[in-house]
């Protein structure tokens, strides 16, 4: 009996130990913890040396060896957040939370975790951590701001009232300010407490009667909530009286008139603001920008907006002749108006003030292209290359200029220079350069080199519609690999829908394949899409149409197309000879 009793007691003890072992699993061994600490330090060293991949691997291994070390977990979470392809944020957020809860007074980690939680929509979690940090660091106003904003977003009335109390505490410690007042106003507005909003504006204005910002603030509040016209304008006028250079007061007053539909008063206030020498230039530019937007939104409501806008810019140019932003914005406006000469003049002044701007030099050359002035376009490119000798865009532009001049050897050299300067990973640009090289080789009748360049362009970017179209066209002209040319032309049309040039190529490939009815359908569509645009309806397109219609036996229609083509390119002996050889009346 005693033996049985001892056996029962022994079994009970074993079971007790088993249960205890299950309830209290052992943590990492001392050896694993030591190794994890070593790997953690090695990861930090690797990160300091710029070896990010090695640092991440070391930190992962350290976390595997000692998952209980919350500092290792925190550092690992930084890497996990930075991985673009990560499927879930659960793991890095869990690691951060574990550390933050174990170190509630750590301001940096806690505030970062709260921000990420808020950004991922977990406002409750952000608020939990922010409130704890706020009371741990009461002297840090940024925490008060963050906590108040999180409380305001909860939608809970009691919590939102807490947010107002925190904004009040900020005002007490930092003094009244429009930023605090605006945040508090937002909470009152969400609560639907209009009376509190107006009372707050009145209080701030009484407490700071000489502060123009609170006069403007009051004007905006009364304007929004239906205050009388005289009351609202009185606030704005008082702000201007207190500070004649207060751009916000001018802006708010003008905007108020615009909302009232008083166009004359709106324009008067805008003009008044523009003539103020003591008003800063950025405020004036904001005025002009807003006026342009208003003009575009309702052109009928404003009198001669284009002339008025130019007057504003001219005034600014006289007042601030050395302000880069004035000339830059004026350039953009004149470009939109297609006043290329004016845009070039303003951009020249912009670059005179700030020449180290690669995009502006490219922009200037493009404007001169619009003016058909290749001499000035080339000059702009060379001036830009003084500052950016390895600019791919500028080198490409030189290649285009030389191509237009039919100096193909120079163009080839410029394209090769652009190729050498291009980023090896920039496949779009590389494909573009090889396409241009292919065109240049074709112009030099270097057929094999041209096709090799087109193949290279499509190797980098199989969806380069220009390379597809140009290669297909030259293959059609050479009657070379026509089935391949057809596939390329079809794809070019799919990539660039309703493009007359690509459709013309497609029609020409069909023509060379003897599929004339299909070719006619496509060439008719190309001509219809091109319309009266001389850049689209070129002599080549009409010449192709003539050839296609002639093959279909429609001689008179062919003659009509050839004569139109000859009118666009009177020096073409080929077209003139077609008219003659087909037994049709000679061209005039």
Q: pLDDT tens digit string along 326-351?
A: 999 999 999 988 999 999 999 999 99
Looking at residues 412-418, what average pLDDT do you find?
Answer: 94
Integer Cα distance of 184 and 204 in angstroms: 12
Confidence of residue 297 (pLDDT cuts 50, 70, 90): low
What whole-number percentage of the chain has pLDDT above 70? 91
Q: Which residue has the higher pLDDT, 179 or 477?
A: 477
Looking at residues 129-148, what average pLDDT do you find?
Answer: 80
Q: pLDDT tens digit string along 257-282?
A: 888 888 888 878 877 777 777 678 88
Task: Give me the torsion for CA of 348, 350, 351, 352, rounded to 10°.
Answer: 80
Q: What integer pLDDT is reported at residue 535 of this predicted model?
A: 56
Between the two ends of the chain, the Cα-to-Cα distance in Å is 135
Task: Give me the torsion for CA of 387, 391, 396, 399, rounded to 10°.
Answer: 50
Does residue 198 contact residue 225 with C-beta atoms inside 8 Å?
Answer: yes
Quickly count: other Cβ atoms within 10 Å of residue 466's Cβ.
21
11 has pLDDT over 50? no
Q: What integer pLDDT is reported at residue 25 of this predicted model?
A: 53
What does pTM read for this prediction?
0.59
| Residue 204, token pair as written in the block | 């701030």
Confidence of residue 299 (pLDDT cuts 50, 70, 90): very low
Integer Cα distance of 183 and 189 in angstroms: 10
SS3 category, 563 = helix
Looking at every residue in the chain, the average pLDDT score rounds to: 85
Q: What integer pLDDT is reported at residue 86 of this predicted model?
A: 53
Confidence of residue 580 (pLDDT cuts 50, 70, 90): confident
Integer Cα distance of 435 and 461 in angstroms: 10
Does residue 99 contact residue 73 with C-beta atoms inside 8 Å?
Answer: yes
Q: What integer pLDDT is reported at residue 226 of this predicted model?
A: 87
Phi (first) and psi of residue 106, to 5 degrees: -75, 105
Q: Three-state secondary structure along 418-435?
A: HHHHCCCCCHHHHHHHHH
Task: Classify residue 389 by burial, with Cβ atoms within 10 Å: 0-12, 13-18, 19+.
Answer: exposed
How far is C-alpha 71 from the geometric centre of its chain's CA atoms? 38
Q: pLDDT tens digit string along 210-229?
A: 999 899 889 999 998 888 99
Integer Cα distance of 574 and 477 in angstroms: 15
What whole-number percentage of the chain has pLDDT above 90? 40
Look at the alpha carbons of 344, 348, 349, 353 in this order and tell me if their dihedral is positive or negative.
Answer: positive
What is the DSSP secondary structure assignment for residue 156, as one 8-state letter?
A: -
Q: pLDDT tens digit string along 436-455?
A: 999 999 999 999 999 999 99
Looking at residues 177-192, what average pLDDT do you find?
Answer: 87
Looking at residues 495-520, what average pLDDT do you find?
Answer: 94
CA nearest to 501, candidates 458, 475, 472, 459: 472
Burial 3-30 (b: 16+ CB within 10 A, else e): eeeeeeeeeeeeeeeeeeeeeeeeebee
């Amino acid at each position: 009996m005693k033996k049985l009793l001892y056996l029962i007691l022994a079994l009970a003890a074993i079971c007790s130990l088993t249960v205890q072992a299950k309830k209290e699993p052992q943590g990492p061994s001392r050896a694993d913890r030591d190794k994890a600490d070593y790997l953690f330090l090695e990861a930090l060293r690797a990160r300091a040396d710029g070896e990010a991949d090695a640092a991440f691997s070391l930190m992962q291994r350290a976390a595997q060896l000692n998952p209980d070390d919350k500092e290792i977990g925190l550092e690992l979470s930084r890497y996990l957040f930075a991985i673009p392809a990560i499927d879930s944020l659960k793991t890095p957020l869990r690691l951060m939370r574990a550390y933050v809860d174990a170190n509630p007074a750590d301001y940096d980690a806690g505030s970062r975790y709260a921000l990420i939680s808020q950004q991922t929509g977990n406002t409750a979690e952000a608020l939990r951590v922010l409130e704890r940090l706020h009371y741990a660091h009461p002297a840090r106003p940024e925490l008060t701001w963050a906590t108040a904003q999180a409380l305001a977003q909860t939608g809970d009335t009691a919590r939102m009232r807490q947010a107002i109390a925190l904004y009040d505490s900020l005002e007490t410690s930092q003094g009244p300010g429009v930023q605090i007042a605006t945040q508090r106003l937002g909470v009152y507005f969400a609560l639907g407490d209009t009376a509190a909003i107006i009372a707050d504006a009145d209080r701030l204005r009484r407490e700071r009667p000489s502060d123009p910002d609170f006069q403007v603030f009051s004007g905006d509040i009364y304007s929004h909530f239906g205050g009388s016209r005289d009351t609202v304008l009185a606030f704005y006028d008082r702000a201007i009286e207190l500070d004649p250079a207060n751009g916000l007061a001018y802006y708010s007053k003008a905007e108020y008139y615009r909302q009232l539909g008083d166009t004359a008063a709106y324009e008067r206030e805008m003009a008044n603001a523009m003539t103020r020498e003591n008003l800063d230039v950025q405020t004036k530019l904001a005025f002009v920008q807003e006026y342009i937007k208003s003009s575009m939104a309702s052109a009928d409501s404003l009198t001669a907006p284009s002339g008025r806008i130019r007057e504003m810019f001219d005034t600014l140019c006289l007042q601030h002749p050395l302000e880069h932003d004035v000339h830059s914005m004026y350039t953009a406006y004149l470009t939109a108006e297609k006043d290329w000469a004016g845009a070039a003049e303003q951009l020249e002044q912009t670059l005179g003030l700030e020449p180290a701007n690669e995009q502006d030099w490219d922009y200037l050359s493009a404007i001169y292209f619009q003016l058909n002035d290749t001499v000035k376009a080339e000059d702009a490119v060379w001036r830009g290359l003084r500052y950016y000798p390895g600019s791919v865009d500028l080198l490409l532009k030189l290649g285009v200029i030389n191509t237009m001049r039919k100096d193909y050897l120079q163009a080839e050299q410029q394209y090769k220079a652009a190729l050498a300067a291009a980023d090896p990973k920039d496949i779009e640009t590389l494909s573009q350069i090889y396409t241009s090289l292919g065109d240049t080789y074709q112009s030099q009748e270097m057929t094999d080199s041209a096709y090799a360049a087109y193949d290279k362009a499509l190797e980098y970017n199989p969806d380069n519609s220009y390379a597809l179209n140009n290669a297909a066209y030259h293959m059609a002209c050479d009657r070379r690999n026509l089935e391949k040319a057809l596939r390329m032309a079809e794809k070019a049309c799919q990539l660039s829908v309703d493009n007359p040039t690509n459709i013309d190529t497609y029609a020409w490939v069909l023509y060379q394949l003897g599929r004339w009815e299909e070719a006619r359908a496509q060439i008719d569509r190309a001509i219809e899409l091109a319309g009266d645009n001389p850049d689209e309806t070129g002599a080549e397109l009409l010449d192709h149409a003539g050839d296609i219609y002639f093959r279909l036996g429609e001689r008179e229609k062919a003659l009509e197309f050839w004569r139109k083509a000859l009118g666009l390119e009177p020096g073409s002996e080929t077209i003139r000879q077609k008219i003659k050889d087909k037994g049709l009346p000679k061209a005039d």
